[in-house]
Amino acid sequence: MEIMTSNTETIPGFKITKSFGVATGSTVRAKHIGKDILAGLKNIVGGELKAYTELLMEARTEALGRMMMDAGQRGANAVVNVRFATSSVAGGAAELFAYGTAVTVEQE
């Protein structure tokens, strides 16, 4: 079953019937040294650093996937009010954290 995600408090057009508490998912990633050097070279002219963009997106997708898995294990069919948090841990690693409220919804 596909879990619907939303960053609004309620999913418009749907009714929340039951809440299962907070579903969370997180991942910690460090940057690759080779990519880091390449990004450093790219940094000379400025603009986008594609290596970092892809790395962070990949990590965030994984955090979101873990959050949805957590919600699925609780028996929910939707996660509402999803938020993201980013924090840098030691030595160039970053933690990407996604959390939201696991609920069951019904179409009105």
Partner 1 sequence: MYEFVETESVIVLALILIFLVFVAFFPLAFIYSMLFGWIHQSSRAKKLLVREQRVAGVVGGDNIHTLSSPINLEKISQCGLVMTNITVSPSWWQLFVGGIKSIFGGQIQSYDKVLAYGRAEVMQRLREQALGEGWSEIINVRVETSMVMNKVKGRQQNKIGTLEFLAYGTGIR
Of 13 and 34, which has the nearer Cβ to partner 1? 13
Nearest to 3 by CA among 85, 50, 69, 101: 69
Residues in contact with partner 1 by CB under 8 A are 4-9, 11-14, 31, 40, 43-50, 52-53, 56-57, 60, 64, 82, 84, 86, 88, 90-94, 107
- The nearest distance, CB 69 to partner 1, in angstroms, is 15
Class of residue 9 by CB neighbours under 10 A (exposed 0-12, middle 13-18, buried 19+): exposed
CB of 2 to partner 1, least distance (A): 9
Q: Least distance (Å) from partner 1 to the CB of residue 71?
A: 12
